[in-house]
Amino acid sequence: MSPNITRLYQAVLFDATAPISLRLRRTFGDWLVGQGHQAPDPGKPVQEYGEGGTRIRLERRADCGRYLVEEKRGGGVLRTRVTYHEPISGLAGWVLVTVEENGPTGAGHAPGFLPEYLRTARITDGAVHLTDAPDALDENDVPRLMHALTERGRRVPLVVVAHDQQDSGAAASRARHLAAATAGAAVVVRFADSHAERRFNNAAGPDLGVFGGSVRTYVAPFDPRTESYPFRHRLMSGSRLRSQGDQALDLVTEGIIGATLHQALPDVVQRSYRMVSRILAGNAQPGDIRAVLVPRPSAVDPKEELRRKMMALTVRPVPAAKPSDDSHRTSDPDDVPVPAGVPVSREKSEEPDRSLSEPSGVSGGAAALDVATLAKSVAAAVTGDLRGELVAALELAVKSSESGHLLRQMRVLGAHVNGLREVVLARERRTEPEGRSAVEALLATAGGESDGLSAEIELLRTEHGVLQSEYAEAMAKARTLERRVGWLEAKLAESAQSVYGIAVEEPVFEPAGLMDALYQARETLRHVEIGDTDAAATKLDLAYPTLAPVWAAKAWDAFRALDAFAEARSAGKFTGGFLQWCMSAAVETIPAGMVAMSESRTVNTNGRYSTHRIFEVPREVHPSGKVFMEAHIKLRKGGVPAPRVHFHDDSGGATGKVWVGYVGDHLPNTLTN
């Protein structure tokens, strides 16, 4: 797969009306004919043809199928892929549409067959109806619009086009343009008049409304009562739309499609998509898809089962009756009125049977519960009747395939707790009473300026947090795609045939934080030794929980590259340094730009800086037990913080290993405080 491939469009359509294949093939075929291509033959399960630089392939088997169109356009190749599965066993069928380009093609809108397909049935994104054309709403339709906006299961953006008083036909024209360009990936509506616009703005609030011919894209999820970041829902002003025309609408379209471009597929689609690929390739039977679609019964939690059995064996004592006092008795039980229809029994036992309500050793006339005896009874029940269950639970914990993962998580949690404790203690030591009073006085003097700055800072902090989350998601997606590309390239090299949707078999470790990466490296890498750097790594995990997984993934890649390098060099298979290793054709490498094998002259010669880079190593590495580690790996090239991994290469020495002395924020130098 070429690294220049870019996804331009993605839509997941749920269609409960069977059959999907007939309607989809008809609308898809009409679209092909409209582009000047031959109509597909509905009687052939598999057909492939092409003309004029265009390749068309349609295949179907049982309840699923796939259509593919590859066409040369501009300076690249545009690829449109449609995969579907019919409804089965009460589950709605689905259609997945993607458009990709290899090289610049100038495309970027929804495929032209989608509006016609959306007209064939009630098709949804899983929650809201995906229409083929924009709805014109009056003020009575606003409650329905608010319900669709706040629908919890909504996945696609909902685009609202405001009424333009300067041009009565502009809103309708803009809505039609956007509906066609984003068909299947969004829902577009417009207000028929200013009354509908006014009622909607009253319901949405001052920061989330539309007005003056503007267009607003409401992404999911949306709740006007709790929305803290209205800028998520992008607004294109009416004045810009009037001055820039289609250029402004194309920007709106790009934002709308971009909101769903890299969304994770719904679970039912993700699980069945892989099976559809196998069915079409002939590697699975059509009925096999039911196994992945039918919900699996949840396994019984061993802990809950153990708790239930213990509660079943626990003896619950009945509260002792209060001593009777004839002087306070107002009536005999026989004299108490009984409601009509309730049978009355005049036979009374002299003494209730306490054998089921009292533990052994408690006499029938006891006024209070013998706690000690009850405790002994419960202990005997636990050690006797539940001994087998307890042993089984312990064996389950020890022998579980997830025990290593759980142990690593427990260690990471412990490191984080220790890190929090150190932070709290450090702050307590630095805080003095007079210092606090001085700060309070200064804040009181700042007054109104502080309030204004606080609001602005909070807004910037929120925007920064959103950007961090988007960056972390993008990096995680990129790593997944990189692994997928490498695996597919290897398969293609072996078979010289395309491979669709088959999962990578090898297990993949994705660290949740730097401490998670450190523990995994300590447990699995034989040629890399991690020193006492837990405190520094923990500080980054706690201070930057969104970015820490991104840095941890890079650190884990670096550890694996160091391990492969040390293994090769210690075995005499490689003679260069780690930087040369990363420039070579080796499999396990990191970008050479991340590696720096030395520090600046100032850092090397100034003890104020160099002492921070001296870390402990075994005496077989250096007689002093310490070494200056100037070689480092940049987990982040710039900015604050700038995490680093400092290491010493002894792969060609006595130990044949690489020793990592530090993983944490940038150590002091001339540019840090």
pLDDT in tens, 544-563: 888 888 899 999 999 999 99
Query: DSSP code of 346?
Result: -
pLDDT band at 326 (very low <50, low <70, confident <90, very high): very low
Residue among 155, 108, 104 at smallest CA distance from 128? 155
pLDDT band at 329 (very low <50, low <70, confident <90, very high): very low
Q: Which residues pair with 626 in a beta bridge?
A: 616
Query: What is the pLDDT, as a whole number, of residue 357?
Result: 41
Tokens 């300590």 label which residue? 522
Three-state SS string over 153-219 comes to CCCCCEEEECCCCCCCCHHHHHHHHHHHHCECCEEEEEECCHHHHHHHHHHHCCCCCCCCCCEEEEC
Q: What CA–CA distance (Å, rounded) separates 551 from 510? A: 11
Q: Average pLDDT for residues 43-55, to the nearest whole number?
A: 88
pLDDT at 70 over 90: yes
- pLDDT tens per residue across span 189-216: 999 999 999 999 999 988 899 988 999 9
Tell me the average pLDDT of the chain.
Answer: 80
Decide: 228 and 205 in contact? Cβ < 8 Å.
no
pLDDT at 396 over 70: no
Q: Average pLDDT for residues 361-365, to the nearest whole number?
A: 43
Using CA atoms, how far residue 299 sits from 302, 304, 604, in Å, is: 9, 11, 59
Query: What is the pLDDT, as a whole number, of residue 371?
Result: 55
Greater confidence (494 vs 551) lies with 551
pLDDT at 673 over 70: no
Q: Average pLDDT for residues 256-265, to the nearest whole number?
A: 88
pLDDT band at 543 (very low <50, low <70, confident <90, very high): confident
Which region among 250-264, 414-428, 443-457 has the lowest average model confidence (pLDDT)? Answer: 443-457
Q: List alpha helices for 2-82, DSSP H.
A: 20-34
Q: What CA–CA distance (Å, rounded) separates 558 from 655? A: 20
Q: Is 7 helix (H, G, I), strand (E, B) or coil?
A: strand
Query: What is the pLDDT, as a whole number, of residue 301?
Result: 62
| In CATH, 5-121+267-280 is 1.10.10 | no
Q: Average pLDDT for residues 557-573, to the nearest whole number?
A: 94
Which region among 222-231, 449-458, 545-554 has the lowest average model confidence (pLDDT)? Answer: 449-458
- Please, what sign has the CA dihedral across residues 456, 461, 463, 464? positive
287-296 long-range contacts, Cβ below 8 Å, gap at least 24?
Answer: 289/63, 289/64, 289/85, 289/88, 290/88, 290/89, 293/88, 293/89, 293/91, 293/268, 294/89
pLDDT at 320 over 60: no
pLDDT at 345 over 50: no
- pLDDT tens per residue across span 270-309: 888 888 888 988 888 888 887 776 655 555 566 666 666 6
pLDDT band at 381 (very low <50, low <70, confident <90, very high): low
Most confident of 71-75, 208-212, 639-643: 208-212
Work out the percent of the chain whose per-residue pLDDT is above 70: 69
pLDDT band at 358 (very low <50, low <70, confident <90, very high): very low
Query: What is the pLDDT, as a whole number, of residue 365?
Result: 43
Decide: 20 and 84 in contact? Cβ < 8 Å.
yes
Radius of gyration of the chain (CA): 34
Query: What is the pLDDT, as a whole number, of residue 289?
Result: 83
Query: What is the pLDDT, as a whole number, of residue 431?
Result: 53
Greater confidence (206 vs 413) lies with 206
Query: What is the pLDDT, as a whole number, of residue 590?
Result: 92
Angle between helix 387-399 and helix 403-430 axes, rounded to 10 deg = 80
Q: Average pLDDT for residues 392-416, to the nearest whole number?
A: 60
Provide CATH code, domain 132-260: 3.40.30.10
pLDDT at 406 over 80: no
Work out the percent of the chain whose per-residue pLDDT is above 90: 45
Helix (H) or strand (E) holding 96: strand 93-102
Please give the model's pTM, rounded to 2 decimal places: 0.48
Three-state SS string over 449-513 comes to HHHHHHHHHHHHHHHHHHHHHHHHHHHHHHHHHHHHHHHHHHHHHHHCCCCCCCCCCCCCCCCCC
Q: Average pLDDT for residues 358-386, to the nearest whole number?
A: 53
- Please, what sign has the CA dihedral across residues 564, 567, 570, 574? negative
